[in-house]
Amino acid sequence: MSTDPNDPFWLPGLDGDLSGGGLAEPAAGDAAEVVGPGRLQKVLARAGIASRRVIEDMIVAGRITVNGTVATLGDKADPRSDVITVDGAVISTMPDAITYLLNKPAGTVTTADDPQGRPTVVDLVPGQPRVFPVGRLDVDTEGLLLLTNDGEMTHRLTHPSHGVEKEYLAHVEGSPKPNVLKRLRAGIELDDGMTAPAQAAAVGDNMIRLTIHEGRNRQVRRMCEAVGHPVIRLVRTRIGPIADRQLKPGEHRSLTTKELFALQSAVNLEAPAPRKRGDD
């Protein structure tokens, strides 16, 4: 993620691109419009209330009303005009849905609050609207992390059925041979089962680019250790279609409209219709 030739993670000969893909050079401040009428569970999920599946269960249980009427599956709502309650409490369905891309530095914890008082990823982004990390990077791992208040997006990005790729650059002990890379591609037997096939390539001395679509705890580190090449430094360089070679450690930015639509497409989530002028 560095462009410093003295940094071992600056890889000459790769056109400066550690990701092998993604959306390059996004324009700052190009936020997506996320409000508008739609199915009730979609409206509430985009407001960060819960995942769409959980909201559907709440609707079936009769816990949600729209304009005083108990909601049923299939009902639609407009967050700009309808009054929606959950368990009798009026909720805000327009909290300015936001998704941040953060370059997590080593030493920060991927949680909203840490009992040990360590710095958290939430400390590195604005406090309002409140957002939560999508998945986890362990405390020593660096790189790209999404934080959002979009409950449905979080559910889809973290659910293994959607198979969203996560790409990592690993500085490892020793120099991995072709047979080692072949083992990583085929899958590695770990204590919690065999890993799914992965993409693995040597990209420099002691360097592996590894792409997985599972989300097991410390998976990349355990895979590399299992093939005899423990990780010295690990950086996540891409999440699905999202990459940013310019974002410095500790920095964050909002996703652009183009990035949000690409992310929604990656998880088969219908992109929201842009709000037109005069709809107020």
Q: What is the mean pLDDT of residues 156-169?
A: 88
- What is the structure's pLDDT at 150? 80
- What is the structure's pLDDT at 36? 62
Instruction: With beta carbons less than 8 A apart as the criterion, state whether 279 and 254 touch.
Output: no
Instruction: With beta carbons less than 8 A apart as the criterion, state whether 262 and 200 touch.
Output: no
Backbone angles phi, psi at 9, to 5 degrees: -95, 5
**Does 237 score more than 70 pLDDT?**
yes
Three-state DSSP state, 34? coil
> Quick one: which of 225, 217, 122, 127 has its CA closest to 173?
225
- Quote the mean pLDDT of the chain: 81
Instruction: Calculate what percentage of the chain has a pLDDT beyond 70.
Output: 79
Three-state DSSP state, 17? coil
Backbone angles phi, psi at 271, to 5 degrees: -70, 140
**Does 28 score more than 70 pLDDT?**
no
Active-site choice (138, 140, 192, 279): 138
Reported as type and span, the H/E element at residue 102 is strand 99-104
- What is the structure's pLDDT at 48? 65
DSSP characters over 191-236 = TTEEPPP-EEEEEETTEEEEEE----TTHHHHHHHHTT--EEEEEE
- Cα(246)–Cα(229) distance, rounded to whole angstroms? 29
Residues 155, 212, 122, 273, Cα dihedral to 10°: -50
> Quick one: which of 205, 210, 246 has its CA closest to 226?
210
Domains of the chain and CATH, by start: 38-90 (3.10.290.10), 99-264 (3.30.2350.10)
204-225 residue pLDDT tens:
889 999 999 988 899 999 999 9
- What is the structure's pLDDT at 93? 58
253-277 residue pLDDT tens:
999 878 887 888 888 765 443 333 3
- Cα(271)–Cα(4) distance, rounded to whole angstroms? 38
Edge-to-edge strand order for the sheet containing 64-66? 69-70, 64-66, 84-86, 89-90
54-112 residue pLDDT tens:
899 999 999 999 999 999 999 999 876 788 888 876 665 555 678 999 999 999 999 88
121-139 residue pLDDT tens:
999 999 888 888 999 999 9
pTM exceeds cut of 0.85: no
Active site annotation includes 96:
no
For residue 177, give both structure tokens.
Answer: 């041979």
- What is the structure's pLDDT at 92? 57
Give me the amino acid identity at 5.
P
Instruction: With beta carbons less than 8 A apart as the criterion, state whether 168 and 237 touch.
Output: yes
Spell out the residues 6+ positions from residue 164 whose beta carbon is closer than 8 angstroms to its own: 156, 157, 213, 239, 240, 266, 267
Three-state DSSP state, 27? coil
**Does 10 score more than 80 pLDDT?**
no
For residue 185, give both structure tokens.
Answer: 């591609």
> Quick one: which of 51, 48, 272, 259 has its CA closest to 155?
51
Backbone angles phi, psi at 181, to 5 degrees: -65, -35
165-197 residue pLDDT tens:
999 999 999 999 999 999 999 999 999 999 999
41-56 residue pLDDT tens:
888 887 667 788 889 9
**Does 280 score more than 60 pLDDT?**
no
